[in-house]
Amino acid sequence: MRFVSFLCLLFCISIDLVAQPELDYYFPSETRLNDKIPTPESILGFQLGERHVSHDQLVKYMYTLAEKSDRIQIEKYGWTYEYRPLLLLTISSAENILNIVELREKHAKLSDPEVSDKVDISDIPAVTWLGYSVHGNESSGANASLLVAYYLAACESNEINEILEDNIILIDPSINPDGLNRFSQWVNQYKSNVDISDPNNIEHNEPWPRGRTNHYWFDLNRDWLPLQHVESKSRIKQFHKWKPNIVTDHHEMGSNSTFFFQPGIPSRNNPNTPKNTYDLTAKIAEYHAKALDDIGSLYYARESFDDFYYGKGSTYPDVNGGIGILFEQASSRGHIRQTDNGLLEFPFTIRNQFTVSLSTIKSANELREDLLIHQKKFYTDALSIAKDDPVKAFVFDGGNDKSKTYQFIKLIQSHLIDVFEISSEIHTVGHNYKKGSSYIVPVQQKQYRLIKAIFEQSTDFKDSLFYDVSAWTLPLAFDMQYGEILEKSYKKVTLGEKLQPITLPEGKVSGKSEYAYLMRWNDYYAPKALYQLFKNNINVKVSLKPFTAIEGETFEQGTLLIPVQGQKQSSENIFKLINKIAKSSNEDFYPVSSGYSLSGIDLGSPNMATLEKPKAMILVGDGISSYEAGEIWHLLDYRFEIPLSLVPVNRIDYINLSRYNTLIMVSGNYSSLSESTMQKITRWVQDGGTIIGIKGGSSWLSKQDLAQLTIKKTKLDSAIVVSYGDMANHLGAQEIGGAIFNSKLDLTHPLCFGYPDDRLSMFKNGKLFFEKSTNPYNNPVVFENNSLQSGYISKENYQTIHNTSGVIISAIGRGKSICFSDDPNFRAFWYGSNRLFFNAIFFGKIINLNSVR
Ligand SMILES: [Zn+2]
């Protein structure tokens, strides 16, 4: 040790030799353990906390444990994008495990108000779901999961035996395996033989894109409501199968903090959650407090985080009859780290997570009846509140976009919400909802609260600060025409068939042509079909004006024209190919035999512009928003099968830009780009390239004279007298954490091709506002007065947004830049504004900028 201290003095680095933990460091004293159950160390070869468990090691241990213990069942409930298994362990007494299906079904009756009255709760187990490390680089949770599973399998105390008799414990040991593995690989590969606690050490500074997110760099702890990722889609089925009474969500936070457990900030609770949820959260909190007191750990509650946004793992259960509990442990980042509170060791963080896992289980056991009654009442109350609600149903119309309608319905159904056909047209003030494309969601359902949370628009809030977004109204995100049906009108409505789990209707080709085919641009998957055409070297044109080529069929601007002549393939092959694409992309193609239209432009018109296959790249890497970049990668690659090169920002100096015709820049710090690189990019744009900026990417383009736009400044609200103590709240209220605004589209502009009407909801979660262009032809998307649809915005910011432009296009030589003030691809569920982004990619080139200066 003396030698170590000498080194510290010499090199100003800190090296600490830490005693490796023994198993009894983690466990309550005098724990009797069954020695037939394998310890984590016996399988992993190291003690938990000595190094970070990889996901493969975790899987191996959990399967071994399930094999050796009659208290455990294990199930693979899904795969990640990188093909790692998602696991769920079911733990109870050996006897319960033998009758587990029966117990589960009995428990599920509490969530069914039709039968729950007759259920005797005295012999129904409480179900506790322990969920670990949804953020893969907050790994103390996933590492603790092995200890919790082992402890519950091996512990022979009377207390644990009694708990297992009356409880079912589910363990989701690693909610984000791809992220966990990315992180564990990093910290283990830089672990030194002697522990290094220096925060500057490479071990403590994982590189971009970091392990927080999944394969496509999404935060899975925002996806419980939008359900856009394979992990969440698989998990939600398990969640609804089990209807857990308590769900834990184990995270890490800044290294200089302590430990947090819910309740969070009371004024930021979601009004759709009943008060009793928070009362029970507070009761459960007493168990955590006692358990952490016993091991001497500092902690706090009630001052941070909230239960507002239902897309989080600790909030979604609150709107489903359970209690979600968020835990946040100060992060050691690697194996040991210097912090304001002294040395923070990885084993210590694991022990806290283990300790609150046990206190949760204990609380479930002792509050079992309260939790079961809460669950039962949650659903019976939902029906009676729905009865008093003046709104009786929500109706929506998907119009001609059958793919988007399908995705929307599938999403609502995943939350166990019933959707019905309408048996005849429904007339409202704003819209006539037609049979065939319109559907109705009556509120008189057990998921009443969630229906409200999904469909309602709120602009009135108790608090002006939100840990996450303040609005997520799903029909707006999907650009659905929708409305409320009040009692009087509802009486006249006859519900049609209840929709079964639906399938996406296949596209069709209505016949072979020797002349040309047409494909409309109004369906969500149209860009997928277009790219497939390009991939097969088919020349495609797009109409800039509407026309009628077939009796009774109007084709709007944006319709694709595939001439049969002049292609490299025979008419027979083109027919086969189009049939294949119609099926795989769910798009309809129309054969035409003459270029002479019944009305509007003809097929050989100068208003049929030739399109170019996009060859797109996006700059990624250090300093760049992995969220915004990941959204684009996921959208193009996974959802639309369009290739996108992810080019590290530090490589751009060395690459030949002529390989690409589209360059995407999302928010980020591009200051590392040298002057010569900037000249190279500028030359490439001047030669005809299209550069697309998103949010901060747009600001940067503007600073580099690669966009002619004026950023509108916001004023800080100074009207209220504030004190130092109010600073955080006051400044926080000036941010736009995420709200929804109505924009007006210019439907004749190529950027807006394919939209059914000139209203589009846009999501805004930043303070970038573009002054409207003085050129009237260059404002395809405008935020007019009274644009707020849902969410919180300060008065000053709201004034600023009036009359700003959402997209500005600039001419640069023969090329152009297309700048978005907001993120049209936010969290993968903004199906409505996605189209603007695709139009920028596919139609950017044909936007006529002759008069745009
Ligand atoms: Zn987290």
Ligand 1 centroid–CA 646 distance in Å is: 26
CB 570 within 8 A of CB 564: no
Q: What is the mean pLDDT of residues 349-372?
A: 98
- 409/831 Cα distance (integer angstroms): 13
Ligand 1 centroid–CA 731 distance in Å is: 23
Instruction: Say how many C-beta atoms besides its own lie within 10 A of residue 622's C-beta.
Output: 14
Show Cβ contacts of residue 152 under 8 Å, excluding neighbours closer than 6 positions: 71, 72, 91, 160, 164, 169, 361
Ligand 1 centroid–CA 125 distance in Å is: 30
- 516/500 Cα distance (integer angstroms): 38
Q: Tokens in use for 544?
A: 């800039």
Ligand 1 centroid–CA 52 distance in Å is: 17
Ligand 1 centroid–CA 226 distance in Å is: 18
Phi, psi at 765, each rounded to 5°: -135, 40
Instruction: Say how many C-beta atoms besides its own lie within 10 A of residue 128's C-beta.
Output: 30
Ligand 1 centroid–CA 132 distance in Å is: 10
**Percent of the chain with pLDDT strictly greater than 90:** 87
* Per-residue pLDDT at 851: 52
CB 571 within 8 A of CB 577: no
Q: What is the mean pLDDT of residues 2-8?
A: 36
CB 794 within 8 A of CB 464: yes
* Per-residue pLDDT at 344: 98
* Per-residue pLDDT at 796: 87
Q: Tokens in use for 152?
A: 């519950």
Provide the angle, in degrees to the nearest 10, between the axes of the packed helices 140-154 and 346-366: 50
Ligand 1 centroid–CA 253 distance in Å is: 7
Ligand 1 centroid–CA 183 distance in Å is: 13
What's the pLDDT tens digit per position in 234-291?
Answer: 999 999 999 999 999 999 999 999 999 999 998 888 999 999 999 999 999 999 999 9
DSSP letter (8 states) at residue 639: I
Is there a cis peptide before residue 271, judged by omega within 30 degrees of 0?
Answer: no
Ligand 1 centroid–CA 829 distance in Å is: 21
Ligand 1 centroid–CA 137 distance in Å is: 8
Ligand 1 centroid–CA 213 distance in Å is: 10
Ligand 1 centroid–CA 582 distance in Å is: 42
Ligand 1 centroid–CA 155 distance in Å is: 30
Q: How confident is the model at residue 794 (pLDDT cuts 50, 70, 90)?
A: confident
Ligand 1 centroid–CA 70 distance in Å is: 33
Ligand 1 centroid–CA 28 distance in Å is: 27
The three state secondary structure string of 533-584 is HHHCCCCCEEECCCEEEECCEEECCCCEEEECCCCCCCHHHHHHHHHHHHHH
* Per-residue pLDDT at 457: 92
Ligand 1 centroid–CA 331 distance in Å is: 10
Ligand 1 centroid–CA 252 distance in Å is: 5
Ligand 1 centroid–CA 14 distance in Å is: 28
Q: What is the mean pLDDT of residues 352-371?
A: 98
Phi, psi at 617, each rounded to 5°: -135, 155
What's the pLDDT tens digit per position in 95-146?
Answer: 999 999 999 999 999 999 999 999 999 999 999 999 999 999 999 999 999 9
Q: Where are the beta strands (DSSP E) in 637-783?
A: 644-648, 662-665, 690-694, 739-745, 759-764, 770-771, 781-783
CB 115 within 8 A of CB 108: no
* Per-residue pLDDT at 720: 59
Asked whether residue 11 carries a pLDDT value surpassing 80, the answer given is: no
Asked whether residue 464 carries a pLDDT value surpassing 90, the answer given is: no
| Strand, coil or helix: 379 | helix
Ligand 1 centroid–CA 135 distance in Å is: 5
| Strand, coil or helix: 40 | helix
Nearest CA to 233 out of 445, 58, 101, 81 is that of: 81
CB 534 within 8 A of CB 567: no
Q: From its phi and psi, is residue 30 left (phi > 0), alpha (psi between -120 and 50) or beta?
A: left
The sheet carrying 259-261 orders its strands as: 72-79, 85-91, 167-172, 126-132, 246-253, 323-330, 259-261
Ligand 1 centroid–CA 212 distance in Å is: 7
The helix (run of H) or strand (run of E) holding residue 411 is helix 402-414
| Strand, coil or helix: 713 | coil
Indicate the length of the chain as a whole number: 853
Q: What is the mean pLDDT of residues 44-51?
A: 97
What's the pLDDT tens digit per position in 718-734?
Answer: 655 677 777 777 777 77
**DSSP letter string over 787-845?**
-EEES---HHHHHHHTTEESEEEEEETTEEEEEESS-TTGGGT-HHHHHHHHHHHHHGG
**What's the N-to-C CA distance of the chain in angstroms?**
71
DSSP letter (8 states) at residue 634: I
* Per-residue pLDDT at 467: 74
Strand 608-610 relative to strand 541-543: parallel, antiparallel, unpaired?
A: antiparallel
Ligand 1 centroid–CA 223 distance in Å is: 13
Q: How confident is the model at residue 470 (pLDDT cuts 50, 70, 90)?
A: confident
Ligand 1 centroid–CA 221 distance in Å is: 8
Asked whether residue 621 carries a pLDDT value surpassing 80, the answer given is: yes
Ligand 1 centroid–CA 184 distance in Å is: 16
Nearest CA to 521 out of 690, 750, 744 is that of: 750
Ligand 1 centroid–CA 134 distance in Å is: 7
Asked whether residue 774 carries a pLDDT value surpassing 50, the answer given is: yes
* Per-residue pLDDT at 20: 63
* Per-residue pLDDT at 719: 55
Amino acid symbol at 143: N
* Per-residue pLDDT at 721: 60
* Per-residue pLDDT at 149: 98
Amino acid symbol at 379: Y
Provide the angle, in degrees to the nearest 10, between the axes of the packed helices 346-366 and 158-166: 60
Instruction: Say how many C-beta atoms besides its own lie within 10 A of residue 192's C-beta.
Output: 12
| Residue labelled with tokens 């819910």 | 262
CB 130 within 8 A of CB 167: no
Ligand 1 centroid–CA 47 distance in Å is: 24
Ligand 1 centroid–CA 169 distance in Å is: 22
Q: How confident is the model at residue 212 (pLDDT cuts 50, 70, 90)?
A: very high
Q: How confident is the model at residue 717 (pLDDT cuts 50, 70, 90)?
A: low
Nearest CA to 575 out of 512, 506, 529 is that of: 512
| Strand, coil or helix: 673 | coil
**0.85 cut: is pTM over it?**
yes
Instruction: Say how many C-beta atoms besides its own lie within 10 A of residue 776's C-beta.
Output: 9
Residue-wise burial string across 450-487, b where 16 or more C-beta atoms lie within 10 A, e elsewhere? bbbbbbeebeeeebbbbbbbbbbbbbbbbbbbbbbbee
- 431/442 Cα distance (integer angstroms): 18
Ligand 1 centroid–CA 564 distance in Å is: 54
Q: Where are the beta strands (DSSP E) in 331-379?
A: 336-339, 342-345
Instruction: Say how many C-beta atoms besides its own lie within 10 A of residue 281's C-beta.
Output: 24
Average pLDDT, the chain: 94
Ligand 1 centroid–CA 328 distance in Å is: 7
Q: How confident is the model at residue 14 (pLDDT cuts 50, 70, 90)?
A: very low
Q: Tokens in use for 82?
A: 């990188």
Asked whether residue 13 carries a pLDDT value surpassing 50, the answer given is: no
Asked whether residue 478 carries a pLDDT value surpassing 90, the answer given is: yes
Ligand 1 centroid–CA 139 distance in Å is: 10
Ligand 1 centroid–CA 143 distance in Å is: 15
Ligand 1 centroid–CA 261 distance in Å is: 13
Ligand 1 centroid–CA 796 distance in Å is: 32
Name which of 404-408, 764-768, 807-811 the model is least confident about. 764-768
Asked whether residue 8 carries a pLDDT value surpassing 50, the answer given is: no
Q: What is the mean pLDDT of residues 209-218?
A: 98
**DSSP letter string over 67-134?**
HH-TTEEEEEEEE-TT--EEEEEEE--HHHHHTHHHHHHHHHGGG-TTTGGG--GGGPPEEEEEEE-S
Ligand 1 centroid–CA 83 distance in Å is: 22
* Per-residue pLDDT at 6: 36
Q: Tokens in use for 127?
A: 């179900």
CA angle 487, 492, 496 (to 5 degrees): 110
